[in-house]
Structures are given as structure tokens and as C-alpha cells.
Structure 1
Amino acid sequence: DRPYVFKAPPEGIAAMTAIVQAVKPELKVPFGVNYLWDPTASVAIGAATGARFVREIFTGLFASDMGLWEPDCAAASRLRHNLGRDDMKLLFNINAEFAHSLDQRPIELRAKSAVFSSMADAILVSGPITGQPADQSHLRSVCETIKDVPVFANTGVNIDNVRDVLSLASGVVIGTHFKIDGNTWNAVDGDRVKRFMDVVATLR
């Protein structure tokens, strides 16, 4: 899917919907969807496939590798409602990877505003790029400010830092660490997943 685009093409939406539907019978846990970097497409796919949540950039204005980035949260939220899926949670990543926010407010105020004005169901705090940890001071300030909804670390969580991360955050989004050799583009390594989850189990 690289180079990234802001608007999912019709064939991409169709393909991802078909893939999710194909693997859904094998899933034993609740699942969510995320079509980079299109919140409306993500909501559409999530609604069609019975996803429990959608993760995406819903708010803000960013300068990015792909140009100026201005997601339309209202359109995504209206689509969720019009498709009868108000139960599907929207997880707001508030500091996008591969981009810099043009909003000069502190990150915790942007998070608080997203919950109040855009009705975020959860707030995600990211690092600067896929697989790199979020700034701990950012994560801490958001967690200390946001009490109404969960706050998750969205990037860079691994077996070495998960204890520290979960001492602050309600949960984590993880991908890169689960791959063979910790490489984003490799297949999932079941042994790495098990070792990580064994550590997480001791923290519950």
C-alpha cells in the first residue's frame, strides 16, 4: 500500500472487505480494522464486516510525507451512525506517524479536545514512525489528562518496554514487535507473540 494515499481507492476497499470477511470465521477474539489513512473507508469496512472498533487519524491537521493531511471526523462519524453501527468504537490516533501536527496546542489538550468535540472512544499516542515508541512524556501527559476514555500506546511497544508503557496506558496497539526479527514487513512470529503475551499476563 505504499506510497500511502489519503483516500482509499474502490478496489482497495473491496479487497480489504473481502479479506476481512474471509478470515473472520477463524478469529476467536474481537477484531477491528484500519485502512491507512482513510477514516471513512475504515468505518465503511468495519461496518460491513462486523468489526468492533476502527483505528485511524480522525482529527487534526498535519504536514506529512503525502502532503497536507486533514481528516474529516464528522463524515466518518456520520457514516458510522447511518450504517447503524454506533456500537463500533472509534480509536483516535492523535499524533500521526510520518507527519507533524500543525496544531500548536500541547498534545494533552489536543487529546482532551478530541474526546469533547469529536467524541473519541479511545485516544492513541504514537511515535514518529511505525515501530518507534511514543514519547513517554507525551504518553504520560495524555494519560494524566484523559480520564473518560482509555488511552493506548499506538507504536513501538515491545517486550522490553511493555511494563513501563502499561504502568501509564490502558492498553497498547502492537504490530512490528510481533513480526519475525521485529521487522514490520515480515510475517508474524508466533513465538514472539507468546513471549510478549506471557509478560502481559503477569501485569493483569
Structure 2
Amino acid sequence: MSWIKDLFHTEKPIIGLLHLRALPGDPSFYINNSSMDKVIQQARSDLKALQDGGVDGVLITNEFSLPYQKKVSAVTLAAMGRVIGALSDDFRIPYGAEAIYDPDATIELCAATDAQFTRCMFTGGWVGDLGVIDRDIGETIRLKSALRLDKLRLTYFINGEGEVYLNDRDLASITKTMIFNCAPDCLVVAGGMAGSGPETSLLAEIKAAAGETPVFCGTGCNLSNVESVLRIADGSYVGTTFKENGKFDGKIDVNRVSEFMEKVRAFRNGLE
């Protein structure tokens, strides 16, 4: 049995993204006169909609901590821990956590919240909207080991949403060396931004290069393309399309989740 089926109880799982509203330390937290109670209330509502709609797992992220930090502040990380702790009795499916753009903070957050999987930009040297990003996967994996997170599954972005690699190697070559050097549990292929997906040709290219290592779609999977995505990918993270009117800043709409998952289940049944 693959680790994917063991964890999510299905092949080709759909992992719903639970985007936390702006947190203490984030500029829009104060602009919008928010509070931790409001953040927790919205997170609980979104979690219920995702679970009632039938997703296979949920990943909690600080999606509205814009602009993102390369090193997530302690107050933001503490706030994420508080929210996830407040939801601990509500989880009915496997859950993960991600402190966006900060691999070490992500690992620490997972340790504090008993998260079962995560996703992050764990490797490479990049340049983009946040400036120059330099990863130290050796230190990150040693941190994971020191915290005894032996069962925590790491899914690695193979490309960035707003970044490019600081080299001219093609993604197929990067895929092969990343697997050899860094041993990811899964690779994640992103589009240009949240809600924008990768071309299926890119998914297919990475999947072919990845061999036995699973490949997930990271962004842009929606009702119209999910079958095409799952014909290639081993699963998908899904966020924006589950929201009211498919808008990034909307709340999770349980009806959109249910419609999407009904189509996914029909597709998966056809593979049996």
C-alpha cells in the first residue's frame, strides 16, 4: 500500500486548502479590525465545509499573510498554532500545516500541531517577488529528524508560484536530482499563482521524470480540468475553486466542494 492510500484512504486524494485569514503581525489583520476569535471562527466554518463536502485531507496555511515573509515571524507562527489547536476536536480527516515560504517554521509548526503532512518550497535557489530565496534542505531535514517527525510526509514544490530557479536547468533534470539528493515523499507542481494551474504537459513532464515518486498538482485544479489533472497526477491540492464564486478571498462553499468531489469520486471509481 502506498503512503498516500495509507494516509488518505484513497489513491489520487483531493486535499482541501484551508486558508487562514490574516493573523497578528500581518498588515491586513489590523486594517480589517480582525481578531483571533474571528480567525478561528472562519477557520472552523471553512473546515466544516471542506469536510462535509468530502475532501480527503486538509492543509492549513497562512494564505492571507500577505506580503509573505521568507522567515515567518514568531507571532504569526504562534497564531497558526493557536488556530489549529482550537480546531483539534473538529478534524475528521488527515490534516497538514504549512507556514508559507518558510520550511523550518513549517516543520516546527507541524511538530507543535501533530500535523501528518505538509507542503513547502523546501529546496533550491530562487528569485521572484520576495527577492532571492535560498533553501538549506540539509538543515531542514535534520530539524525534522531532531524533532522525531519520522512519520511526517513532506511534499516539495518543484517550481514556484512567483519565482524562477537561479539556474538554467530544465524541470525534468531538477526533478531527478531533487529525488536523488533530497528524497521527497511527493513533488508538487504549481501554476503561476493561487488559482492558476500548471499546464497538463508540465504535469506529464514532471510525472515522467519522477519515476515512482508521487506528483501532486499544487494549484489551479478545478471542476473543468480535474479529470485531466488526475489522469496524470497522483493527487491534488485544491483551494480557490472551493470558494464562493471561485474567488480567492471568498469563504469555502460546501456546495462547490460537494460538486467537485462527486466528480472526483466518479473518476476514481472508473479507475478501479
Range into which the TM-score falls when normalised by the shorter chain: over 0.9
Deviation per CA, 1:73-104: give whole Å up to 9, x if none.
Answer: 12221111101111101100111111122232
CA distance in 1, matches of 2:213, 2:111: 22
Equivalence for 2:230? 166
Aligned pairs (5 A) from 1:34-183: 34-183=98-247
Alpha carbons 1:56, 1:93 under 8 Å: kept: yes
Stretches (4+) displaced over 6 A: none
Equivalence for 1:32? 96
Equivalence for 1:187? 251
Equivalence for 1:19? 83
Deviation at 1:60, TM superposition (A): 1.3
Deviation per CA, 1:32-60: give whole Å up to 9, x if none.
Answer: 11111101101101111111111000111
CA distance in 2, matches of 1:176, 1:73: 29
Gaps of 5+ in 1: none
| Structure possessing the higher relative contact order (Cα contacts under 8 Å, 6 or more residues apart) | 2
Residues 93-102 or 152-161, more deviating: 93-102
Alpha carbons 2:159, 2:189 under 8 Å: kept: yes
Equivalent residues, number: 204
Deviation at 1:116, TM superposition (A): 1.1
Deviation at 1:111, TM superposition (A): 1.5
CA distance in 2, matches of 1:61, 1:31: 28
| TM-score normalised by the chain length of structure 1 | 0.97
Percent identity of equivalent pairs? 32
Larger Rg: 1 or 2? 2
| TM-score normalised by the chain length of structure 2 | 0.73
CA distance in 2, matches of 1:129, 1:109: 23
Gaps of 5+ in 2: 1-64
Deviation per CA, 1:58-81: give whole Å up to 9, x if none.
Answer: 111111111001122122211111
Alpha carbons 1:60, 1:103 under 8 Å: kept: no
CA distance in 2, matches of 1:137, 1:34: 27
Query: Residue 25 of structure 1 aligns to a residue in which SS?
Result: coil
Q: Give 2:237's aligned amino acid.
A: V
Q: 1:86 to 1:103 in 2, by over 3 A?
A: farther
Deviation per CA, 1:4-25: give whole Å up to 9, x if none.
Answer: 1100111111111111111121
CA distance in 2, matches of 1:30, 1:154: 17
CA distance in 1, matches of 2:114, 2:245: 32
- Tell me the C-alpha RMSD between the 2 structures: 1.0
